[in-house]
């Protein structure tokens, strides 16, 4: 019974993971390589940068950029070209615009 409860709690904690992001200097340091598109229709994920870490909820594109790598859920590297990236994002102006456009890439941020 305890093992089942532990498995359920672990599953829920991964599913509710906040999107605390740290931007690394080199691609080999990153969990995910990201390219910022010029238009929202080119992106896999529409991202809104929140001001406070508690505002970054689940895996819906609400990102909080941390000051240190150990504070982050994921480390990302911004690529120069789209073909170098695992994930293409577009920064939106409002939090309600943040969402996944390509659900096949969602696993990259879990």
pLDDT tens for 58-85 read 899 999 999 999 999 999 999 999 999 9
Sign of CA dihedral 34, 39, 44, 50: positive
What is d(CA 101, CA 106) in angstroms, rounded to the nearest whole number?
A: 9
Report the length, in residues, of the chain: 110
Distance, in Å, from the CA atom of 34 to the CA atom of 83, rounded to the nearest integer, reads 10
Pick the closest to residue 22 from 56, 6, 80 (CA basis).
Answer: 56
Question: pTM score, two decimals?
Answer: 0.81
pLDDT at 57: 79
pLDDT in tens, 9-50: 444 444 445 589 999 999 999 999 999 999 999 999 999 999
């Amino acid at each position: 019974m305890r093992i089942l409860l532990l498995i359920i709690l672990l599953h829920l904690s991964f599913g509710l993971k906040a999107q605390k992001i740290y931007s690394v200097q080199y691609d080999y340091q990153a969990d995910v390589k990201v390219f910022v598109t010029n238009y929202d229709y080119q992106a896999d994920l529409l991202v809104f940068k929140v001001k406070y870490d508690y505002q970054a909820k689940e895996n819906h594109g609400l990102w909080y950029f941390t000051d240190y790598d150990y504070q982050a859920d994921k480390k990302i590297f911004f690529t120069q070209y789209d073909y170098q990236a695992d994930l293409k994002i577009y920064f939106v102006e409002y939090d309600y615009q943040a969402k996944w456009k390509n659900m096949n890439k969602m696993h990259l941020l879990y």
